[in-house]
Structure 1
Amino acid sequence: MILLFISSTLIYLIESPAQPEVFSSIPAAIWWGTITLTTVGYGDVYPVTILGRIIGGILAILGIGLFALPAGILASGFSEELAARKAKKRGRDVIICPHCGQDINSPPHHEHPSD
Structure 2
Amino acid sequence: ERGAQPEVFRSVFSSLWWAVTTLTTVGYGDSYPVTLGGRIFTFFVLMIGLGVVAIPSGIVAAALAKVREGETKSGMED
**TM-score past 0.5 threshold:** yes
1:55 deviates by: 0.9
The count of corresponding residues between Structure 1 and Structure 2 is 78
- 2:5 maps to 19
Q: Deviations over 1:48-101 (max 9, x none)?
A: 111111110000011111222221221122122112112212227xxxxxxxxx
Structure 2, unmatched stretches of 5+, are none
- Opposite residue 53 of structure 1, the aligned amino acid is R
Relative to the length of structure 2, the TM-score reads 0.85
- 2:54 maps to 68
Identity among equivalent pairs (%): 42
- Opposite residue 44 of structure 1, the aligned amino acid is D
Structure possessing the higher radius of gyration over alpha carbons: 1
**Whole-angstrom CA distance in 2 between matches of 1:68 and 1:24:** 31
- 1:79 maps to 65
Higher helix share: 2
Structure 1, unmatched stretches of 5+, are 1-14, 93-115
Aligned-residue CA RMSD in angstroms? Answer: 1.6
Query: Is the Cα contact below 8 Å between 1:38 and 1:68 reproduced in 2?
Result: no
**Whole-angstrom CA distance in 1 between matches of 2:7 and 2:54:** 30
User: What does 1:22-61 correspond to in 2, within 5 Å?
Assistant: 22-61=8-47
Relative to the length of structure 1, the TM-score reads 0.61
